[in-house]
Amino acid sequence: MAAPRKTGLGRGLDAIFGEGVENVLEDIQAGKTEHVSSKTELAVSEIRANPYQPRKVFDDEKLRELASSIKEHGVFTPILVRKSLHGYELIAGERRLRASKIAGKETIPAIIMEFNDEQMMEIALLENIQREDLNIMEEASAYAKLMERMGYTQERLAERVGKSRVHIANTIRLLKLPASVQQLVAENKLSQGHVRPLITLDDEGLAYDIAMKIVDEGLSVRAVEKMVRDAKEPKPEKKEKVRDRNLIYVEELMQNKLQTKVKVETKSITISYQDTKDLNRILELIGCIEED
């Protein structure tokens, strides 16, 4: 006889990641886990945002579309919350909550959960990643926070979120970019391929300058790679020109004679003077002033 299927949240974090967030949410909504406290209607004003929400950018147009639907049909899928000292904290369903506020709803269907901070962080990340709601910089930040908070290696995190280790590594490396360049990536003005070479630059100003050049001129990835290679190549030192010793000797003689700066080069002599009086003095020394 097959063992009964265990509900995800009852077994903690491993079950959440192992089964995938969609299954976990389905179990919650079907009441298949002891971590569900109750299902109810809550006042929108009592619900605070999830402090571990990795998503920072929301599409205003899509929110308005969802708000229009909610205004007409209501919220079909309850949001997930947990009790806090003052009201409730949102676990999952921020788009539904925001759209309900736009629609002017005073209450929203909710399922009250008994979640700890780690579970809130993980399920918020998984919900967004699996629904592809995060931009790449939000995803990178969420991965880094999970690795820091949960002590995951890249390999372990990759297993948890159903991504390749290479994807995790490349995404997290984007956090090494200057904040100004990260913003351009988040706004989809630059692709990962374009900015990957910029990560290797130590000069943040140069990285931003190249990033803006990519945006303004539509440079290819290959062109960017070449620009970065050229920028990192050591500049050849300028060799000082070896002067003719005979010219140096003549230069010193004239400076001692005229008591002023003299530059003797091939086929040219430059004599410096301070004012008209000094010029007349020099002309007299070299015999260029005519007697009256």
Decide the pairing of beta strands 88-92 and 47-48.
Answer: parallel
Q: Which of 19, 89, 94, 127 is catalytic?
A: 94
Q: Write out the two tokens for 268.
A: 């040219």
Beta bridge pairs of residue 81: 90, 112
Burial readout 55-94 (b: 16 or more C-beta within 10 A, e: otherwise): beeeeeeebeebbeebeeeebeebbbbbeeeeebbbbbbb
Annotated catalytic residue 94: yes
Could you please report the per-residue DSSP string of 66-79?
Answer: HHHHHHHH--SSPE
C-alpha to C-alpha distance for 79 and 25, rounded to whole angstroms: 10
Q: Catalogue the active-site residues.
A: 94
